[in-house]
Amino acid sequence: MATCPSCHRHYGDDVTSCTVDGATLLPDAAFSNADTELREGDVVGEYRVEAKLGVGGFGTVYRAEHPVIGKKVAIKVLAREFSSKPEVAARFIDEARSANQIRHKGIIDIFAFGALPDGRHYFVMELLEGASLEDHLRASGPLRPEEALPILRGVARAVDAAHAAGIAHRDLKPDNVFLVRSEDGVATKLLDFGVAKLMGNRSGQKTQTGTPIGTPHYMSPEQARGVNVGTKTDVYSFGVMAYQMLTGVLPFDGEAVMDILLKQVTEPPRAPSEMRPELPVALDAPILHMLEKDAEKRPKTLGAAVDELAAAWTSAGGAPEVSATSIDVRPASAARAVSQRTFVGATTEIAPSPRKGRGWIFVAATAVVLAAAGGVAWLEMHRPAKPILAEQHVVEAPSAMPIPSASAPPREEWVEIRVEATPANAEVWDGATELGSAPGPFRLHKSTGLKKLTLRAPGHASRDVDVDTSANAVVSVTLASAPTAAPTPTAAKTTKKPGLPTELEQAY
C-alpha cells in the first residue's frame, strides 16, 4: 500500500501518484510515526471537524462544529513528538487549566480536553473572529491615546482577574491580544496561557530557576534574568505594549536576542514623547512608571496603570476615549486559536521581533549573562513565513555561535509610514509609482535619509513631502486648493452682411 504525503489518501501498490493532487506516493511504512491529519467529518470528543486552520511548531488547529447545537469551536491538537515529552505536555495541559481557573470573559475559553486514539493531546476552545492587536497595529500604525486606552483597559481587566486567581501570564504582547468584533462593539481576548505560572507553587509546570521564559522584546528585567517572576512582570510587559501602541516602536530592540535582554536589564527607555513628538509629555510618566527596572516601583495592578495613563491624558486636554464600536478591526484570518511563541531556555521556541519579518536571528539558549558571568550557548533558527498560527521550530543548539557567510545577502528592513492627508484619500506617489491612498500605511525600505513622496488629489495642488524612513512615522499633509483658471475673454462675434462694404460693417 502507498499513501499520498499531502492528503494522506491510500492507494494500491500499482499506483505511483495521487489522483487528487499529483504528489508522488510513499510507502505506508514511511508514515508509521507521522501525525495523521484530521479530515472533514472526523469526530473529536463531541465535535465534528470541518477544516484545518493552521499548523505550527507544536501542533495543528482545526475548526469544528457541534453536530447538534451547531456551536463553532477551534480544536488544538498537540503534535505526537511533543505529546510524548512530559514537560511540553505539562505546559499544554497547564494552558487549559490556567484559562479555566480564571473564568473571565476577556480570556479565551477552553472548555474540553482529551486525547486522540493515537495518544495526541487536544483541547477545545472558542473560535475567535477578528484580528490580533499585532495585526491591527501593523495595519493602522501607532494609535491615538483615545483609541489605545479602551483596548488597554480591556486587557488590564483580564490580566488583573488572572492575578486575582493566582496566575501570572508572563507572555503579554500584542500577538497574544485578540480584538473580537461583536454586536456590542470590539472586545479584547487574552490568549496563550501556555507559559503562565500559578503562584504559590501550585503549577505542575517545571521551569528551572535562572531560565528566562517569555518573548524578549516584552520581558521584564527579572524575567530576562530568570528570577522572581510574578505579577509585576505582567505590569512591565503591559507597559511595553502601551509604549508600542502609542509610539509605533518598541522601547528596546537589537540584532540579537542577547542584546535585547541586556537592554531590558540595564538601559532606561527613552520617553515616549521623544519617539513620537505629537504625544503629550504628560503621558511619559505613567508609561515609564510601568517600565521601572525595580518591580516594586511599578503600579500595583494593571487597572491602576491604565487609570494613571487615562488621568494624564485627560489632564493634557486629550479627547475622550473612543467607543469600542468605532475601532476598525480588519480580520487578518478566518479564525484564531491559542498557540505558543515564547522563549524557554533551549527547550522551546522564541517569537522574533514583530518588526523584522525576514532573515536569520540568533536565539540565546540560556539565561542572561551579565558582565561578571561567562559562557553562553546559542541557538540559531530561521523564521518561516507566518502561517495562520505563527509558531516557531527550534533546531539543535550548535557548539558555537555560527558566523554568517560574507556572501549572504543583506537583510531587508522596513518601516511603515502613515499619511494623514487633507483631503482624505489623497493619492500617495513614490516617484512614478503610486503607493495607494492616504492614510495607508505604506511600507517603505528602512534608511537613514529622507524620502520624497508626492500627494495628489483632484481640485488640489500636488505637494512633495520629505519623510524620515529611519523608523515608523505618521506624517500630516494638507493640500492647497488649486486656483481656478479665469475664463479667456473672447471677441464679440460679428456677421458680415452680404453686399455691404467693409467700412460700413461696423456702422450697420
Q: Which residues are catalytic?
A: 171
* Residue 194: partners with Cβ closer than 8 Å, 6 or more residues away: 91, 92, 94, 95, 171, 338, 340, 342
Q: What is the DSSP string of 205-262?
A: ----TT--EE-GGG--HHHHHTSS-SHHHHHHHHHHHHHHHHHSS-S---SSHHHHHH
Under DSSP, the state recorded for 504 is G
254, 263 Cβ separation under 8 angstroms: yes
Q: Which residue has the cell 518573548?
A: 215
Distances in whole angstroms, Cα of residue 450 to Cα of each of 276, 343, 455: 17, 37, 16
Cα diameter, the chain = 118
Under DSSP, the state recorded for 448 is S
Whole-angstrom distance, CA of residue 312 vs CA of residue 56: 41
Whole-angstrom distance, CA of residue 133 vs CA of residue 253: 19
Residue of 296, 402, 392 whose CA lies nearest to 348: 392
String of b and e for 454-492 (b: at least 16 CB within 10 Å)?
bbebeebeebebebebeebbbbebebeeeeeeeeeeeee
What residues pair up with 186 in beta bridges, in sequence order? 181
